[in-house]
Structure 1
Amino acid sequence: MTPGAATAVDSLALLPATEALAGFRSLEISPVEILEAQIQRIESHNGDRETGINAFTETLFDSARTQARAAADEYVRLAREGGEAPALLGLSVATKEKHGIAGRTLEQGLAAHRGRIAPVDHPVVERLNAAGGIIHARTTSPEFSCATTTHSPMWGITRNPWNTETSPGGSSGGSGAALAAGFTTLATASDIAGSTRIPAGFTGTVGYKAPYGRIPGFGALAADWYRGDGPMGRTVADTALLAAVISGRHQTDHGSWGGYGINPFAGGDVAGLHIGLSLTLGDYPVAPEIRENTLKVARALEAAGAVVVPVELPWTTARITETTFAHFGHILGPAMATETAGTESELAAYTARFIKDAAAAATRHTLVESLAMDHALQAELAAAMAGLDALLCPTSAVASLAADGDYLDGIATSEGHLGHYWEAHLTSPFNVANRCPVVSVPSGLSRDSVPTGVQIVGHPFDEAMVFRVAAAVEVLVPGPGFPQLKPSYSASSL
């Protein structure tokens, strides 16, 4: 479905957040109307855990409706009396299940966590509530967010609205699917090896990996310098709006930093900018159609006045995988093994494989050695980006992933077979270099009718630049629009 072909209900459900807020302020649109349009789409198209899009672990429609009515009343009051509304007042936000809501389950798809209840709101949730956002649904992820597809024994298979045989990516696959399907206006995500950008790429949406600590995390694993929480939206401006709300120092995460409420959106003028172009980041086997879509973006930037500079990096997918798993072998892998002890027989195959691979990498490299591996990649990226304002590269090397795929034997690509399917994505190097901000924006469609994406990589902490370039790409190379959804004939699992 393209925006021009949408029905009135569809148009409301798919309305960008910035436009919705303008409509709320002018009283031309009510938060109730948009929420009901999205609920209608969810009930018609989300489907069940086996054959449907299945984007959610649970829905919170009753409380959301109450909040929407209160938001509508508040806009009427503000129009009469004056004043400024909270930044997200009346906008629907689907939150990734790992972003705990006090008093509700926090299971992360694990049998070992079944029935676990969040004692407090995650900082991201706390800030959404304070900004007037309406959390109407919680989105699926793979077990412990450790895969780039989204399926689990607990929550079933989440499918890509563009092509339901394929995955929306992972680990924030439910968020990407919900945005693409018009089930929500905004969504939250997280990213430790590409878990925000990969779903954005595969669903034709926008995902932002902020510099480490810019968005506060929760719990001991928030200290892992590869990780981060983040925003997703259907436009660059929407994603920046959500980033502004959830970013900034928070008292519960001493590693968090920066001011709160600072919108990194900076327009889209790229004239005079020097933008590096790497189609493969070394030797990633990027599919020809993805290369062409990336080149299309580069040519458009050049036509808009940017200077596009080819960049060579001395990286291999095998080396990057070894580097990241050496890190995971000393942090995330042992944490997962501890969390799932006693329930090993109930784990998804990809989770067991991750724990095993991480443990093996830890026997090959000490933590100090893994730091040296990180430092080498960071230094090479810094050298490659010297004199540039940003770097452009694909988000994924492959056009799609199977919705139910485990990829225990690696993945076939256009140029051969990779031993580990994580090598199919060009995202994890920028978790190693995790002070670099990165935005993934759409670049076109693949022959699988699945969107493709490009990453805009900035120098450490330079958030405004990546949003500036991303905004230009969005204008110069319009996204794929919206998928045509099929009615769901299966009973919803929600």
Structure 2
Amino acid sequence: MSDPTSWTVPDVLAGYRNQSLSPVEVMATTLKRIADLNPHYRAVAHVFADRAMEQAHTAEHLYRTDPDAARPLEGIPVLVKEDEAIRDDPWTQGSTIYRSLVADHTAPFVQRILDAGAIIHGRSAAPEFSSAAFTQSSLWGVTTNPWNPRYSSGGSSGGSAVALATGMTLLATGSDLAGSIRTPSSFNGTVGYKPPHGRVPVDAPFNLDRYCHCGPMARTVADCLTLQRIIAGPHPDDLASQLPPAPSAAPSQWRVGVITGQDWPVDPEIADNTRALGQALAATGISVEEMALPVQRDDVIDAAAIHYDAIFGAALTHESDQHPDQINPYVPEFARWAAQRRGTRSFLDGLAIEAALQSKIAPLFQQFDALVLPAVATRGFLAGDDYVGHGLEVGGTTLSFYMEALPSILFNVLSAHPALTIRSGFANNDVPTGVQIVGRAYDDNTPFAIALHLQRAATVPTTWPTLPTPSSDV
């Protein structure tokens, strides 16, 4: 069979229907890919091989006997990030503390994936409690970047991004509290989408945290959009969930603002690649203007730290206090950083900073339909480094905490804005770079439409990393 990284969801579904491809073949190839490559990259935490093959046989029979009854993702392999619950499956959350925990329910958006006929053949690895922008834990080891294993996959949805880049799945899910979909998508050259808050239903109580989002990850924009359409929309278990958006502007009407850095230090090749992607957009006839980001990095980080300290940081502190001998060091470090950065300021003080940020960003969307800016400011985090006790140099500036290298955090703070990450090129260490295409509040359509436009114009690189040689073909 062909290289799985060349597969797309429409092509695979078409192959199922015309009998040129079978769900059994696809699943067998996917599982072998995991067996061959996962020891190198540690992207997949749990594999459900026997169950997946049984479900693939069922899907194959359906396509042969009653193809009209096939559901939208019938027989498509999907990895679900291990922080999302699936009834009767392990729910370790990357932690040895919950090594034996089995979920008693299924997260609402994951149930939609199952109801669409997808086969969840495994769970993608995440850092403990998804609390880092890299993916490593004492439970699963270090998830490395397949383009350059000296570097991290990014996180916290790093397992999903690496599995996509290496053909260990066709679709995957991620969660994003501080860029956790967009960071690994950028570092691995894949596509990841942070929906507006409420677009995809999330488990309580984090459904009520405006910074918290779950979304789709894929190798192509079209595949990412396919999964987003499955998981989006209101759900009775999530009172914050909302209806999908109305259609957006036609391509000839788009106005795009491109931001390469300014107050946010950015490694030079990332700025260059962001600018080049803007030029590629302009070459297709889109109105593009390079501009400055009208907010200060310190304000964004202050707002985020106050929020994290009050909610996510409090949860991490509780786990660290209860299990001090089992916790990975980066877990309490995140909580410590948020608390120290917050200082004596109240949650209300944080909301005031958020409102001020929104007042500066809102006028941009009077002028532009979308903003394009780096998803990550750094060319990479070193694999195995937990970034405890030291900062990170980015674009000639030393940041006291590595999380401050994530411009993506701005659109967790301003959580109503959708942000879609696509590849923009490569850094000089061979690690991919990415941009986030950010739309107006609750306008999911425009980021996808712009990315599809770029993809059709063949301006987004589509190569995949050179991988260790498999033991044999299926």
Structure 1: give runs of 5+ residues left out of the alignment. 1-7, 490-494
Could you tell me which residue of structure 1 aligns to residue 205 of structure 2? 220
Could you tell me which residue of structure 1 aligns to residue 100 of structure 2? 115
Runs of 4+ in 1 over 4 A off after TM superposition: none
> Does the aligned pair in 2 maintain the 1:16–1:238 contact within 8 Å?
yes
Name the amino acid aligned to 2:84. H
- TM-score scaled by length of structure 1: 0.91
For residues 401-446 of structure 1, give each alpha carbon's deviation from its aligned partner in whole angstroms, at most 9, with x where no partner exists. Answer: 1111212211012312111111212200001111111100011112
Instruction: Give how far 1:330 is off.
Output: 0.9
Could you tell me which residue of structure 1 aligns to residue 260 of structure 2? 279
Instruction: Give how far 1:319 is off.
Output: 2.5
Say yes or no: does 1:200 pair with 2:188: no
For residues 156-201 of structure 1, give each alpha carbon's deviation from its aligned partner in whole angstroms, at most 9, with x where no partner exists. Answer: 1101111111111100000000000000000000001100011111
Match among 460, 464, 474 for residue 482 of structure 1:
464
Name the amino acid aligned to 2:460. P
Could you tell me which residue of structure 1 aligns to residue 393 of structure 2? 412
> Does the aligned pair in 2 maintain the 1:272–1:305 contact within 8 Å?
no
Aligned ranges 1:78-93 → 2 under 5 Å: 78-79=66-67, 83-93=68-78
Q: Provide the identity percentage.
A: 36
Instruction: Give how far 1:130 is off.
Output: 0.3
Match among 448, 457, 468 for residue 467 of structure 1:
448
For residues 59-85 of structure 1, give each alpha carbon's deviation from its aligned partner in whole angstroms, at most 9, with x where no partner exists. Answer: 011111011111111111234xxx352
The 2-side partners of 1:14 and 1:153 are apart by: 33
Match among 429, 451, 458 for residue 448 of structure 1:
429
The 2-side partners of 1:310 and 1:346 are apart by: 48
Could you tell me which residue of structure 2 aligns to residue 492 of structure 1? none
For residues 24-54 of structure 1, give each alpha carbon's deviation from its aligned partner in whole angstroms, at most 9, with x where no partner exists. Answer: 122211111111111121111211xxxx200
When residues 162 and 220 of structure 1 are mapped into structure 2, their CA distance, relative to the original with a 3 A threshold, is same
**2:193 aligns to what SS in structure 1?**
strand
> Does the aligned pair in 1 maintain the 2:302–2:350 contact within 8 Å?
no
Say yes or no: does 1:358 pair with 2:358: no
Say yes or no: does 1:28 pair with 2:28: no
Could you tell me which residue of structure 2 aligns to residue 179 of structure 1? 164
> Does the aligned pair in 1 maintain the 2:113–2:231 contact within 8 Å?
yes
- CA RMSD in angstroms comes to 1.9
> Does the aligned pair in 2 maintain the 1:14–1:185 contact within 8 Å?
no
> Does the aligned pair in 1 maintain the 2:300–2:413 contact within 8 Å?
no
Could you tell me which residue of structure 1 aligns to residue 315 of structure 2? 335
Aligned ranges 1:303-382 → 2 under 5 Å: 303-382=283-362
Identify the range of structure 1 (404-413 vs 429-438) with the bigger mean alpha-carbon deviation: 404-413
Say yes or no: does 1:438 pair with 2:438: no
Instruction: Give how far 1:458 is off.
Output: 0.1
When residues 190 and 365 of structure 1 are mapped into structure 2, their CA distance, relative to the original with a 3 A threshold, is same
The 1-side partners of 2:456 and 2:391 are apart by: 36
Instruction: Give how far 1:297 is off.
Output: 1.0
> Does the aligned pair in 2 maintain the 1:395–1:454 contact within 8 Å?
yes
When residues 86 and 421 of structure 1 are mapped into structure 2, their CA distance, relative to the original with a 3 A threshold, is same
Identify the range of structure 1 (458-467 vs 103-112) with the bigger mean alpha-carbon deviation: 103-112
**1:188 aligns to what SS in structure 2?**
strand
- TM-score scaled by length of structure 2: 0.95
Name the amino acid aligned to 2:363. A
Could you tell me which residue of structure 1 aligns to residue 61 of structure 2? 73
The 2-side partners of 1:400 and 1:296 are apart by: 20
Name the amino acid aligned to 1:311. M
Identify the range of structure 1 (331-340 vs 463-472) with the bigger mean alpha-carbon deviation: 331-340
The 2-side partners of 1:155 and 1:43 are apart by: 15
The 2-side partners of 1:447 and 1:480 are apart by: 18
Could you tell me which residue of structure 1 aligns to residue 45 of structure 2? 57
**1:341 aligns to what SS in structure 2?**
helix
> Does the aligned pair in 2 maintain the 1:276–1:385 contact within 8 Å?
no
Instruction: Give how far 1:135 is off.
Output: 0.4
Identify the range of structure 1 (440-449 vs 204-213) with the bigger mean alpha-carbon deviation: 440-449
Structure 2: give runs of 5+ residues left out of the alignment. none
> Does the aligned pair in 2 maintain the 1:110–1:144 contact within 8 Å?
yes
For residues 238-272 of structure 1, give each alpha carbon's deviation from its aligned partner in whole angstroms, at most 9, with x where no partner exists. Answer: 0000001111111111111115xx998x8x97333
The 2-side partners of 1:317 and 1:480 are apart by: 32
**2:159 aligns to what SS in structure 1?**
helix
